[in-house]
Copies of this chain bind each other. A is one copy, B any other.
């Protein structure tokens, strides 16, 4: 690890954060390396010194964002165990990080395009996420959910609700109570009795 003098100990991370921001505001296709460079006071070529291409920059941005989310997901859990409450907490956290949510929403949807550099990342990410979410659900609610659902069915629905709510919330933050609606969905899964 090479050390540099001055305030700029880690330009790389600085660039990654700026890139996440710009991708959020313009999407991957719409973002230019130059605009990212501007944020950190570099020239376009200065950025390309750290990341050989735009594709690679995106790849590393996604890895960073995943690490951060993992932090939020795992840290509050007791003993590292993820619960449905932890997940609800993540949604609450997201409701206060519009930029992060927006970057994720735009990039994941963009990734369905053929040959998109992030396509594989998101495909695998959803695959593994569904797997551990099914286990979280099973551990907490058992094998039999309301209406005969299985944890394996509930898991993709969970992420669908999260993603879909994010989209509506980004478009109309005042109309959509994202955490509240997510918790409403959770209570549907838990089969809680009506308060009547």
Contacts and interface: CB of A to CB of B under 8 A. Distances in A.
Interface of A: 25-27, 29-30, 102, 105-106, 108-114, 119, 122-123, 126-127, 130, 144, 146-149, 153, 156-157, 159-165, 167-168, 170-172, 175-176, 180-181, 184-185, 187-196
A20 to B, nearest CB: 14
A8 to B, nearest CB: 29
Contacts of A190: 147
10 contacts: A106-B112, A112-B167, A112-B170, A126-B168, A126-B171, A147-B192, A153-B180, A157-B164, A161-B164, A163-B164
Contacts of A109: 105-106, 108-110, 167
What number of copies of this chain does the assembly contain? Answer: 2
Contacts of A148: 187, 192, 194-196
B191 A147 contact: yes
Contacts of A130: 168, 175
Nearest to A122: B171
B172 A123 contact: yes
B163 A127 contact: no
B27 A188 contact: no
A113 B110 CA distance: 13
B167 A156 contact: no
Contacts of A184: 147, 149, 153, 157
A33 to B, nearest CB: 15
Contact of A29 (B29, B119, B157, B164): B29
Nearest to A165: B160
A127 B172 CA distance: 8
A191 to B, nearest CB: 7
Contact of A146 (B110, B146, B168): B146
